[in-house]
């Protein structure tokens, strides 16, 4: 897929600040004309769409966004409605709230709304996801796994995501819920993809060159399994604790950048020199 040169994917680890400085949500607002552009809050992930939608609508309104709508699709039939498709077509930001990521893919996957989302993403609409809305951004997503446990294959369930970011598995509420083990299990089963764990009140912005930048108050953890020399991942050993050799990990904080294509972090000086 094509990315807006400024980076039109903003992926949040959940529990972003909504009452204090609101740095991440302010960054979302800075990407649009707050007087004219449409910010579309998509509540498909949650079973409480009115409550969640109203909360985010109030926050973005307080930040100065004038044109805010809620896309409330609770079943696949809603994804065929002309008025809902038109909302997606008109949006400059589409914001996926938290909830259950499998609800998002099972309800909108393959529908006219999803097809329209692909089109508007290609033309530069900003896609933002928090919590479950973050996990669903990748082409493979974790839908269930044990928190604060050693990695085991049999405790992890994965499914296709929306595919806005390729060759990655994204996990959220990362340090706060002790999800290192389950992301490591995901990378062990799919060593060709990067595992990206995002803390709460932390986000990554992904641009057209495949470079991500970290914003927010926490950390982002990159697990790279491309150089694994051994693992016991197999059906035969699915109940055992996973063993893997030579998994690479990077820890990034605010301002750090990472190239998702070359799988390497960027130093600040190098970025400035390349920009000259």
| pLDDT number for residue 274 | 44
CA atoms of 25 and 28, how far apart (whole Å): 5
Say how many CA atoms lie within 13 Å of 55 toward its Cβ: 14
* 173: annotated active-site residue: yes
CA distances from 47 to 81, 134, 240 (A): 20, 17, 35
Q: Residue 226's closest CA among 247, 197, 257?
A: 247
DSSP 66-115: -EEEEE---SGGGGG-HHHHHHHHHEEEEEE-SS-HHHHHHHHTTSHHHH
Long-range contacts of 270-275 (CB under 8 A, 24+ apart): none
CB 190 within 8 A of CB 231: no
pLDDT of res. 187 = 95
pTM exceeding 0.95: no
Q: Looking at 92, 200, 213, 231, which residue is catalytic?
A: 200
Q: What is the pLDDT of residue 233?
A: 86
Q: What is the DSSP letter of 242?
A: P
Each domain of the chain, given as residue ranges in start order, spans 9-275
For 9-275, the fitting CATH number among 3.90.180.10, 2.40.50.140, 3.40.50.150, 3.40.50.880 is: 3.40.50.880
Question: Which DSSP string corresponds to 22-35?
Answer: -HHHHHHHHTS-TT
| pLDDT for 235 | 63
The whole-number pLDDT of residue 150 equals: 86
What are the pLDDT digits (tens) for 132-146? Answer: 999 999 999 999 898
* pLDDT confidence of residue 5: 42
Candidates 131, 135, 138, 231; catalytic one: 131
Q: Which residues of the chain have pLDDT under 70?
A: 1-7, 235-238, 267-276
How far is Cα 11 from Cα 95, in angstroms, rounded to an integer? 10
Please tell me the predicted confidence (pLDDT) of residue 268. Answer: 58
Q: Of these residues, 116, 135, 138, 173, which one is catalytic?
A: 173
pLDDT given at position 4:
43
């Amino acid at each position: 897929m094509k990315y807006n040169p400024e980076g039109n994917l903003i992926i949040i680890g959940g529990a972003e600040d909504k009452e204090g400085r609101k740095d991440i949500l302010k960054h979302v607002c800075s990407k649009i004309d707050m007087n004219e552009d449409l910010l579309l809050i998509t509540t498909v992930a949650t079973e409480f769409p009115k409550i969640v939608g109203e909360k985010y609508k109030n926050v973005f309104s307080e930040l100065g966004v004038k044109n805010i709508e809620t896309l409330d699709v609770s079943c696949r039939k809603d994804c065929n409605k002309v008025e809902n498709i038109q909302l997606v077509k008109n949006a400059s930001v589409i914001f996926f709230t938290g909830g259950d990521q499998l609800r998002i893919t099972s309800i909108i996957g393959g529908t006219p709304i999803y097809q329209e989302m692909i089109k508007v993403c290609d033309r530069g609409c900003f896609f933002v996801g928090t919590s479950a809305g973050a996990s669903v951004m990748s082409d493979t997503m974790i839908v269930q796994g044990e928190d604060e446990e050693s990695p085991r294959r049999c405790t992890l369930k994965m499914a296709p995501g929306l595919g806005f970011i390729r060759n990655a598995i994204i996990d959220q509420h990362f340090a706060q819920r002790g999800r290192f083990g389950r992301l490591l299990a995901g990378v062990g089963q799919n060593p060709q993809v990067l595992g990206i764990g995002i803390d709460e009140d932390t986000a990554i912005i992904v641009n057209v060159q495949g470079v991500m930048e970290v914003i927010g108050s926490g950390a982002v953890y990159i697990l790279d399994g491309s150089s694994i020399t051994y693992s016991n991942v197999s059906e035969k050993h699915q109940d055992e604790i996973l063993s893997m050799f030579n998994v690479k990990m990077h820890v990034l904080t605010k301002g750090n950048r990472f190239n998702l294509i070359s799988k390497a972090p960027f130093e600040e000086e190098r970025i400035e020199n390349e920009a000259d």
